[in-house]
Amino acid sequence: MQKPRKILHADCDCFFAAVEMRDDPSLRDIPMAIGRSREHRGVIATCNYPARAFGIHSAMPTAQALRLCPHLTLLPGDFEKYRDVSRQIQAVFHELTPLVEPLSLDEAFLDVTDVEAFQGSATWMAQWLKAECLARTGITVSVGAAPAKFLAKIASDWEKPDGLTVIAPDRVEAFVSALPVKKLHGVGPATSVRLEALGIETCADLRRLPLERLREEFGKFGHRLYELARGIDERPVKVERERKSVSVETTFDRDLPGLTEAREALVPLCRRLEERLARHGHPSPAGIFVKVRFDDFSLTTLESRGLATDQASFQLLLEQAWARAERPVRLLGVGVRLVPEAARQQLELEL
């Protein structure tokens, strides 16, 4: 009989803001956020808990955050410093197990199923992880432990900040049954509304719908909902995550009034993309794309699998994308889709 998996999800609490508060304790008790200024029309990267009390959250436009909290302290951020702290925290993760799947600078999944230290107790491992990260970096980490990835991620958020929640195998049934469906991975606002219209608020409610009905309502995602409502998530912790695309983008301080200005702004973006591709060893492209956000915040993305990764090709896509709205441009991005490793290997065999 296969033993239950033990998965940890470690998530730093308001990571960028936490690093700044560590280095300047006077920031701890005042609303503070990392992001570009109102004049640069940026968005909030993260904020501390005093700022969250005003309704501020990550990805919120800076101007909106300042309306909610006019006395908000806004810092530009030092991402090289954040990457350095992240490397220290990731080193702690790897001391516990080599099976680490980083999701971003500040969070990761760890498979500790076969770790013999701490008498094999996932709870003790999580306690050690939290204590070591705090001692070495001054950053608090919330940790969730569970037999499945999606449950571990939910658990790490359960008692934030500085939380530790363990969902033992014998607790999974009761925990999942009472779990609101909006907590499930992949259930966004639109899906939540559709589930609510069906009278579904918890996973126990969701279980009453047969698989066929869920497929009718939600397509392929219906099968995923069926599994999650029963606590089923067989996804392994992946040590290596395959990159699917490489891209660069910029939000302009002032809207670009027309296509001519957008064409000019595309030139340095293509140069930055070329430099980024070089850093990744010139990976095999499966296609290219252009992303345009207009002044009314509408977004369009146009891609092609038949064009070369050169400036002329991106210019062609830009012209077609801009023609969809013909409005001033707020944001412009360019990128390439990458050939999946399995497909690349198959292509090499065929050649």
Q: Which is it for the CA torsion 230, 236, 241, 245, positive or negative?
A: negative
Q: What φ, ψ does residue 184 adopt, rounded to 5°?
A: -70, 145
User: How open is the CA angle 152-157-161, to the nearest 5 degrees?
Assistant: 130
The residue among 146, 155, 157 whose CA lies nearest residue 13 is 157
107 is catalytic: yes
Contact 228, 150 (CB under 8 A): yes
* Residue 23, marked binder: no
* Residue 29, marked binder: no
- Catalytic residue, from 101, 107, 173, 350: name it: 107
Q: Which residue's structure tokens are 């998965």?
A: 7
92 Cβ contact list (under 8 Å, min separation 6): 129, 132, 133, 136
For helices 79-96 and 15-23, the axis angle rounded to 10 degrees is 110
Q: Which is it for the CA torsion 57, 76, 109, 137, positive or negative?
A: negative
Question: Which residues are designated catalytic?
Answer: 107
Annotated binding site for Mg(2+): 11, 106
Annotated binding site: 11, 106
